[in-house]
Amino acid sequence: MKDGLVLEIQRMSTEDGPGLRTTVFLKGCPLRCSWCHNPESISPQPELQWIPVRCIECGTCVGFCSRGALSRGVEGVVIDRGACAGCGACADACPTNALEIWGRRMTAQALVREVAKDAAYFSRSGGGVTLSGGEATAQSEFCMDVLRGLRASGLNTALDTCGLCRPETLQAMLPLCDVVLYDVKMIDSNLHRQFCGASNEVILENLRLVASAVVGSAGATSLWVRTPLIPGATATIDNMKAVGGFLATLPPGSVSRWDLCAFNHLGRDKYVRLGIDWLYRDMPLMTAAELDAMKAAAQSSGVDPAIVRTSGATRLQE
Amino acid sequence: MAAINESRPGLKEPYNLSPRIGWLRDYYFKGTDRKWNNEFTAWTTGTPWDVCFQEMTYYIVPEVYFLMQALRGSYRQGAREVPLDADFWNWSLPERRAWFVRKVMVDMVPQEILPGDLVCGARFNIQTSLCLNRDEAAEYDRLLIGPNGARATMKRFHDHGYGNSGATSGHLVPGYERMLKIGWRGIHQEIEGHYQALSPEDKAGPRGCQLRAMMTAATMPRDVGVKYAARCRELAAVEPDEGRRAELAAMASNLDHVPWEPPTTFWQALQALWLGHMLVMSDENYPGPGVSFGRFDQYMLPYWQRSIAEGMDREFGKELLKCFWVHCNTAYDAQIRSGNQGITAGFGQLITLSGMGADGRDMTNDFTYAVLEVIDEMSPILEPKPNVRLHRGTPPELMDKIVQMISDSQGAPFLLNFDERSMAGMLRQAELAGMKDRINLDNVHEYAPVGCLENTMVGNDRSGTVDNNLNLVKAVELAINGGRDLLPYVDQITGVAEPVTQDGPDTGDATTFSDFEEFWAAYERQTAYIIDRCASTYEASESVRARFFQTPYLSCLVAGCAEKGRDINQGAAEINLTTLEAVTFATTVDSLLAVKYLVFDRKICTMGKLIDALRANWAGHEVLQAQARNKAPKYGRDDDEADAMAVRVMNLWCDGAWKHVTKSTGRRFRPGMLSWNYWAGDGYVVVATPDGRPRGQFLSNAICPSNGADINGPTSNSNSVGKALGGKSEDQVGNYRGYVNLLPNGASHTITFHPAVIQDPEHCEKFKSFLHGYMENGGTALQINILDPDMLRMAQKHPQDYRHLLVRVTGYNAYFVSIGRELQNEVIARMSHQRF
């Protein structure tokens, strides 16, 4: 069995599929969405972060690194990302956990054992375990072991995917999933390439595949589509209409929900900790009116209006 | 009203209150500005040696230690003299006491009725003379306030960080159901029957004295009722409003019947219940704390149904309940001028709702919902405190109602009690305390919590649920230093340090221990010692109370007392236990884990270095402190290895508790975890602990993980709690359907949730799923708090204590302390505006 690189196990998760769930975030993603609010999930390698609020400036870490990747700067610990191998030795030594490693290797068996601890909380609400990312299909072999283990434990399974993978991978995984959460960001392929670092043909083709599997009982029993609403990118009336228009061409009844998730900026500090200048650093949240307009556009796009939902914070206005 | 809602959205407001209830509620909250209140009045026999303050009941309240003598003096000073019967001093002590309390309540305290009130029984907080003669008073003082008396003993116990202990009043469910069924006439008759059955020698002896005292006490509610009936008629005679006149007439005619005769209507039943209840508080000279109503929605149901069938408007029934609610709150008036803090901040007259009946069937009924409606419409209000009993068979409608109330109130206006786990504890108690004839599969579902969440049986059970509060972590300190305090005790006022003495057994020099098991062996012996010391500290006040403070009225309401001809304070209850409430559980477990990790497993420091750091309160040892806090394993994360230590600690001290029995009253100790507010206050008394906590920082609360330790969220926290209580196993003594509960008393567990978890119907469904999971994996009781902006501001100030705090923005979670200041401020602002 193959190890997986797990970013985080989030228990009592309420936003990643039906019921109460545990969401497993896997590390490594084939897309490079400019707005990504989990930038630490993109690289398929472990990454070191320094959390200033925890640091007591004891200096334990500096000089600890055999590759000399850590030094002390004016504003605290400086990580030389070129030199850091992500081995985590400094994080183990850091007394306050101010240095932490994003991503740890786990076996499928250990992961299943860990998430099964919350089985009692899932059942009454149709909840279970969601494999999310990063991108779960990028670690498909590992994920299939995990899904099989979850199935064997009688747990409901969900796959949260960006859809960019080989169709065979999806076809293999679908029979092991009860729910698929599928991201559709934008329909215009050029814009998609521009904002997400890859075109969307495969993504849309794969969505057709999942949709027919759902209605044909050849796999998961329900499909939820999710669209992040990013001001200046996906959050346009045209894009809402285009995405909805596309969804309307899928087999009737295959999409049971279409969630419009408003842009949020809670990931801002993660960018700082990764040393990346984020394009959306100063982007304000959407206003409630903007969110309503997106919803209205989505509802008039040709899909069953009842499947459209919105979520996420909107701008505080006096 | 609208303006208030706008400025502080999310603040629960009462609703659907009639002008009558609105006025009574508003009046109550005027506090000291009221013309009328129910502040203690003190009453004396007039002897120069008289004592009008039963101080032992406050031995578990460290806030008043410094005031003990002052309170004793001032109550005596302010006491009014009661003209005594000519034979008074010839009677036995319980007879004097019964007569005196009745005299005060019937003839001395005025009968008052607030405007519009529909339930009689207003002033009941009294401090009455202990009724001691000169010789008794001298002996009492010698045992109590002498150099080695109960007061000094308990104070030493507290000063040295062990916790507190004292024979305390309340904390039981009196036999109210029976009181309503047979009326006080029936109770009186039964006591008289027991008395008449005594031999002439016994009649002249202590049993005869006690039963005569109880007969006197049993006439007190009758006579108070007669007085209130007369008062109603006086008021009716001058009442201009016709409607009110009719109400007063109805109240008078109710009181012509109850509480002496059994009630027939709901109004009468509620009236009889209130008088019966308030007089317990008068008798004990102690308002509120833990005198609980038990399964209110079960025993009141027949009266409710009958009155509804006879045409009582459901809303009028609720109106009566709301009056009753206001009455319960007047208990707080006792020490109204000292403000709501410490003991005066939460009294705990519990009302139990729903839960299992025989054969596991659910007992929710229309009256359950009526009471929940009253709570919802009245809240925020402190008393009575509802406990809703949940179990696998709880109907979805009740779950919906509960979650809706939690959502509307932004926090639970009740405590949730979990039947399966709770009943397993009671069955285990039945086995270990040898009381299977009194608690078994046929009746265990009749249990009810008292005080906060302490599970007991009803009408025959006194389990001293707040009497002993032991800091388990003291045993770690003693094990580290060979049975001696780590630092000398310094008197807070004089600044004088006491020399350190060999208090616990000499378990050797910990710096020479070669492995953790050697340390554990020392810890084990010190644990036995601190439990033993707690038991002997308790005995000091328990024995004095048994001898000098009887409560014959309360004894009428507790099965076992009349049969034995002995007072409840002399150990006569059929279920006669006291509870060792462990405080600092997680601090103890985490400290042991830290010692193991730092000194033995990873050898990060020597024991000597650790001891130096603890003595220095970690000053100059910040790196080691950080390692103790952040690197050593912790209980509360659903980490099986760490939780195994929790189970080990739990088994050790529980086994220790069961071994002890009070000498004077034969009460076996049973284990529980309440910890009330001591985990905060004692944080300043208990020295630094190996888990990285400095002196001055809070200890862990009851069975909860240490502050900030539960970094894996509510489900892992709950799983750890369930494991620590014994988890599930068909082999364990007293398991109930596989549930094991080592703590029959139950364990206080609080979880704070982000408001987004109940923001809309979809999330409420998910939250219900959490509660169902808790039923399977969690503890005996759960307090649900909802995160508020104030807590987030605290987290900004003390990030170390709030590492676990998750903030949720739909679709996204983040640890609050690790998102920059600017975003933190925005999260706070959003929460203030109820926008997530």
Q: What is the largest CA-CA distance in chain B?
A: 86
pLDDT, residue B812, reads 62
- Count helices and strands in chain A by DSSP H and E runs: 10, 13
d(CA B424, CA B441): 10
Burial degree of B251 (CB within 10 A; 0-12, 13-18, 19+):
buried
Q: Is there a contact between B129 and B137 (Cβ–Cβ < 8 Å)?
A: no
Q: Do B716 and A117 touch (CB under 8 A)?
A: yes
Question: Shortest Cα distance from B379 to chain A (angstroms)?
Answer: 29
- The more confident residue out of A54 and B527 is B527
**CA quadruple B623, B626, B630, B631: dihedral positive or negative?**
positive
Task: Please indicate if any CB of chain B lies within 8 Å of the CB of A312.
Answer: yes
pLDDT band at A221 (very low <50, low <70, confident <90, very high): confident
pLDDT, residue B348, reads 85
* Nearest in space to B57 (alpha carbons), one of B127, B156, B1, B113: B127
Most confident of the following: A139-153, A252-266, B330-344, B819-833: A139-153
Question: Shortest Cα distance from A150 to chain B (angstroms)?
Answer: 18
pLDDT, residue B677, reads 82
Which among B622, B757, B768 has CB closest to A56? Answer: B622
What is the Cβ-side half-sphere exposure of residue B420, based on CA atoms within 13 angstroms? Answer: 24
What are the pLDDT digits (tens) for B383-398? 898 999 999 999 999 9
Q: Which residue of A has its CA nearest to B628?
A: A95
Q: Is there a contact between B81 and B165 (Cβ–Cβ < 8 Å)?
A: no
* Nearest in space to B716 (alpha carbons), one of B796, B642, B816, B780: B642
Question: Shortest Cα distance from B619 to chain A (angstroms)?
Answer: 14
Q: Is the pLDDT of residue A222 over 90?
A: yes
Q: Do B830 and A313 touch (CB under 8 A)?
A: yes
Which among A60, A120, A313 has CB closest to B777? Answer: A120
Q: Which residue of B has its CA nearest to A260?
A: B811
Phi, psi of B713 (to 5 degrees): 90, 175
Q: Tokens 């299943």 — which residue?
A: A112
Residue pairs spanning A and B at CB distance below 8 A: 129
What are the pLDDT digits (tens) for A233-264? 999 999 999 999 999 999 999 999 999 999 98
Q: Which residue of B has its CA nearest to A125?
A: B769
- The more confident residue out of B90 and A51 is B90
Q: Do B819 and A266 touch (CB under 8 A)?
A: yes
Q: Do A264 and B820 touch (CB under 8 A)?
A: no
Q: How many CB atoms lie within 10 A of CB B111?
A: 20
Phi, psi of B46 (to 5 degrees): 95, -5
pLDDT band at B79 (very low <50, low <70, confident <90, very high): very high
- Chain A residues lying within 8 Å of B819, measured CB to CB: 266, 268-269
* Nearest in space to A55 (alpha carbons), one of A88, A77, A74: A77
* Nearest in space to B145 (alpha carbons), one of B663, B533, B544: B544
- DSSP reduced 3-state for B341: coil
* Nearest in space to B784 (alpha carbons), one of B266, B207, B333, B386: B386
- DSSP reduced 3-state for A182: strand
pLDDT > 90 in chain B, percent: 82
- Chain B residues lying within 8 Å of A95, measured CB to CB: 623-624, 626-627, 630-631
Q: Is there a contact between B750 and B785 (Cβ–Cβ < 8 Å)?
A: yes
| DSSP letters for B714-762 | HHHHHHHHHHHTT-B-SSSTT-BTTB--S-TT-B--EEEE-GGGGSSHH
- Among A98-107, A150-159, B488-497, B792-801, whose mean pLDDT is lowest? B792-801
Q: How many CB atoms lie within 10 A of CB B29?
A: 12
Phi, psi of B808 (to 5 degrees): -115, 130
Q: Do B820 and A272 touch (CB under 8 A)?
A: yes
Q: What is the mean pLDDT of residues B550-562?
A: 98
d(CA A59, CA A47): 20
d(CA B7, CA B61): 37
Strand B668-672 to B575-583 pairing: parallel
Strand order in B781-786's β-sheet? B350-354, B385-390, B415-418, B781-786, B750-753
- Chain B residues lying within 8 Å of A272, measured CB to CB: 820
DSSP B108: I
Question: Shortest Cα distance from B816 to chain A (angstroms)?
Answer: 10
What are the pLDDT digits (tens) for B167-209? 999 999 999 999 999 999 999 999 999 999 999 999 999 999 9
- Chain B residues lying within 8 Å of A10, measured CB to CB: 713, 813
Which among B631, B716, B818 has CB closest to A11? Answer: B716
Strand B80-81 to B163-165 pairing: unpaired
| Whole-number average pLDDT of chain B | 93
E strand segments, B411-456: 415-418, 448-450, 454-456
* Interface pTM, i.e. ipTM: 0.95
β-bridge partners, A259: A226, A309
Which among B624, B766, B807 has CB closest to A20? Answer: B766
Distances (CA, A) of B145 to B137, B142, B155, B541, B548: 11, 6, 11, 11, 14
Q: Tokens 């709501």 — which residue?
A: B340
pLDDT band at B9 (very low <50, low <70, confident <90, very high): very low
pLDDT band at B799 (very low <50, low <70, confident <90, very high): confident
Strand A4-13 to A21-26 pairing: antiparallel
- Chain A residues lying within 8 Å of B834, measured CB to CB: none
Q: Which of A6, A9, A10, A12 to mutate to test the interface with B (most CBs of B within 10 A)?
A: A12
Task: Please indicate if any CB of chain B lies within 8 Å of the CB of A12.
Answer: yes
- DSSP reduced 3-state for B55: helix
Which among A117, A123, A269 has CB closest to B638? Answer: A117
Q: Is the pLDDT of residue B3 over 50?
A: no
- DSSP reduced 3-state for B798: coil
- The more confident residue out of B63 and A110 is A110
Chain-centre distance of CA B47, in angstroms?
35
pLDDT, residue B811, reads 53
* Nearest in space to B591 (alpha carbons), one of B470, B690, B698: B690
Task: Please indicate if any CB of chain B lies within 8 Å of the CB of A269.
Answer: yes
Which among B799, B809, B833 has CB closest to A266? Answer: B809
Which among A11, A118, A312 has CB closest to B810? Answer: A312
Q: Do B715 and A118 touch (CB under 8 A)?
A: yes
Q: Which of B810, B835, B836 to mutate to test the interface with A (most CBs of A within 10 A)?
A: B810
- DSSP reduced 3-state for B390: strand
Q: What is the mean pLDDT of residues A190-213?
A: 97
Whether the ω angle into residue A44 lies within 30 degrees of 0, i.e. cis, is no
- Count helices and strands in chain B by DSSP H and E runs: 31, 17
Strand order in B41-44's β-sheet? B80-81, B41-44, B126-128
β-bridge partners, A9: A24
pLDDT, residue B7, reads 36
Task: Please indicate if any CB of chain B lies within 8 Å of the CB of A256.
Answer: no
Q: Is there a contact between B666 and B571 (Cβ–Cβ < 8 Å)?
A: yes
Q: Do A127 and B766 touch (CB under 8 A)?
A: yes
Task: Please indicate if any CB of chain B lies within 8 Å of the CB of A122.
Answer: yes
